[in-house]
Amino acid sequence: MNLELTAEQRRLRTEVIAFAREELGRDVAADDRESRFPLEDWRRCAAFGVLGWPVPAEYGGRGLDPLTVIVALEALGYGCRDNGLVFAVNNHLWGCVIYLLTHGTDEQKKRYLKPLCDGTLIGAHALTEPEAGSDVLGLRATAERDGDHYRLRGTKCFVSNGPVADVFVTLARTGDRGRAQDGLTAFLVTADLPGVDRTRELTKMGLRTTPMGVVEFDDVAVPAANVLGREGAGYAVFTSTIEWERSLMFAAQVGAMERLLEESVRHANARRQFGRSIGGFQAVAHQIADMKIRLELARLLLYRVGWLKREGRMALTEATIAKIFISESLVSTAMAAVEVHGARGYVADSSLERELRDALGGPIYAGTSAVQRGILAELAGVRGALSGDPGGAARETGGEPG
């Protein structure tokens, strides 16, 4: 396994970093304060090709392989200081686009992928409900067949991109076929359908430039042609995408970790106390050393998942480990960066307090760390480690995508 970047990947990384630094996040502090979605930056991402990186050229994308997409997203997270914008991009790609790529019909792909790539449409994943998050099989939304349509009813909450999304991937119960796994169906639901109501936008601690909200489906007539996969296969559709979500969604966090490390090194060298730079004190130097360790381990875990996916191999265990380690490592690194900078890292005028707030969501979305550890324990052979998982099917449980 050779994880050395190719000349093309190195060139792409350089291009993405330059684009992100020059074009994105110019008003991130104000956008964060106002919880404002940076629509112009979204359009710049679309024009640069970000929204179509994993999509084949025939559908309007660039057709990058999984490892190269990871390299590009890592560079985006490194160069762009607006973590919320990057998170919105990831929700668009791994909560919507990947579903179309892996389970969409030719007609669905032709209809939706190009506008999703060019930024005309914004995608979201409407899964979590007031009484069902990590327990995907506990979803209560229903979709009843009515001729060539389904009547969709239910409430979805904590929907990232929800207040601005044009296309929702959602799961609903379409019957009771014995096994709970066989009673769910995945749908593409467009926001312009009568009965789709974005009832409330939620204010968050961090990642504020990714809008989050509640979406009501009130007797929505969803065309049968908008079923992803087939009726009753929604759980299988959902679980087949979790490797992408758990790993590629966190590539940008590795880039953010590198950015925070570099900022901390610069400050440790420049800031002087007691007649010398604070980097000369072990308490500071060891913080930075641990930042470097976390960064390199996170990158290795992530690139291994990308390599496995590029080779067409399963990577559920590796993706689960990556999700846990990267999300928690970013929190530790952001906290360390605040401590290294002292009062400068704590005040609101500093970007570091925002970085810490943004990082805290990582161990929650895309499946909480507690759920992921239960899944990992079952994958390692511990029976029933994930309490409440029907049939002990940890390998099929995706957790809560946020």
Catalytic residues: 245
The 3-class SS string of 132-200 reads ECCCHHHCCCEEEEECCEEEEEEEEEEEECHHHCCEEEEEEECCCECEHHHHEEEEEEECCCCCEEEEE
Question: How remote is the C-alpha of 267 from its chain's centroid?
Answer: 30
Question: What are the residues facing 382 on neighbouring strands?
Answer: none
Sign of the dihedral defined by the CA atoms of residues 231, 166, 196, 171, in that order: positive
Question: How remote is the C-alpha of 57 from its chain's centroid?
Answer: 23
* Residue position matching structure tokens 């290294």: 340
* Residue position matching structure tokens 């800031």: 271
Exposed, middle or buried: residue 282 (CB in 10 Å: 0-12, 13-18, 19+)? exposed
Q: Which residues have CB under 8 Å from 213's CB, separation 6+?
A: 159, 162, 163, 198, 199, 200, 201, 202
How many residues does the structure list for the chain?
402
Bridge-based pairing of strands 149-160 and 212-223 is antiparallel
